[in-house]
Structure 1
Amino acid sequence: MDKRNNSFKFDFTPIEQAIKDARKARGMTREQLANIVDYDIRHLQAVENEGQYPSIELFIQLITMFDISVDEYIHTDRRAAKSSVRRRLDTSLDRLDDRELSVIEATVNGLCKAKEETEE
């Protein structure tokens, strides 16, 4: 007799959204991703939009390919060292030269200053 606890429910929605956002951030279509991971495009659509759980193989492929940290989604009571968004941003920033980074730095400084002013 199967004594596993099958009542466990996990909300996959935040992870599926992170996968979708990461794919789009790379400028990749779902069709391109389907060709890379060798899965049907309809299956990827179901994973991204309909809450279908991917196989563990596909899940690992996607989180590895898109550098997604699942800790922030599984251990919601703990703060991850770096969110997936921050990790993707770090990867993108690594491709910029110092001149381009100074533009980003000025933008961030402006956003921080505006946020401080609205909080006062």
Structure 2
Amino acid sequence: MAKRPVPKYDFKAFGAAIKAVRTGRRESRKKVSDEMFISPRYLAKIENKGQHPSLQIFFDLMLRYNISVDQFLLDKPAGKDTRRLQLDALLDSMSDNGLQIVTATAKKIAEIERPQEMENT
């Protein structure tokens, strides 16, 4: 019996997203590899060549870097995108004082952007 032809998913965008967050956090490939019990070469291939990671490594990287699985696997993302997940993770680590500052800042940004949206419609 012949195998059903199935197109392989392109993991290049996922790898690029992982690399961007990892380097943004100033984490070395060696550090991440050691903590995840994988080889630096395996991580480099995921990041640079879009190698298909194992399901467990895919899941671990998604959680480690707050990357939205919807963003990469669905045509129309159902949940929060990666930037919102990463912002949520930052907010979760803030004190009440920090949250007040972020809330006030977000309100001011919304006030500034609201008139621009009205002009563009």
In structure 2, the partner of 1:95 is 93
Q: How many residues align?
A: 118
In structure 2, the partner of 1:56 is 55
Give structure 2 stretches of 5+ with no counterpart.
Answer: none
In structure 2, the partner of 1:107 is 105
Structure 1's consecutive aligned runs of 4 or more residues displaced over 3 angstroms after TM superposition are: 24-27
CA–CA distance in structure 1, aligned partners of residues 11 and 5 of structure 2: 18
Q: TM-score scaled to structure 2, two decimals?
A: 0.77
- Post-superposition Cα deviations, 1:38-85, rounded to whole Å, max 9, x if no partner, equal 2221221221122222222322221233343312321122x3222232
Tell whether the 8 Å contact from 2:33 to 2:40 is kept in structure 1 after alignment. Answer: yes
**Equivalent pairs: percent with the same residue?**
33
In structure 2, the partner of 1:12 is 11
CA–CA distance in structure 2, aligned partners of residues 55 and 95 of structure 1: 29
In structure 2, the partner of 1:73 is 72
Q: 1:112 to 1:17 in 2, by over 3 A?
A: farther
Higher fraction of helix: 2
CA–CA distance in structure 2, aligned partners of residues 113 and 22 of structure 1: 30
In structure 2, the partner of 1:44 is 43
- State the one-letter code of the partner of 2:13: P
Q: 1:87 to 1:33 in 2, by over 3 A?
A: same
Q: TM-score scaled to structure 1, two decimals?
A: 0.77
Deviation at 1:25, TM superposition (A): 5.0
Deviation at 1:13, TM superposition (A): 2.7
Give structure 1 stretches of 5+ with no counterpart.
Answer: none
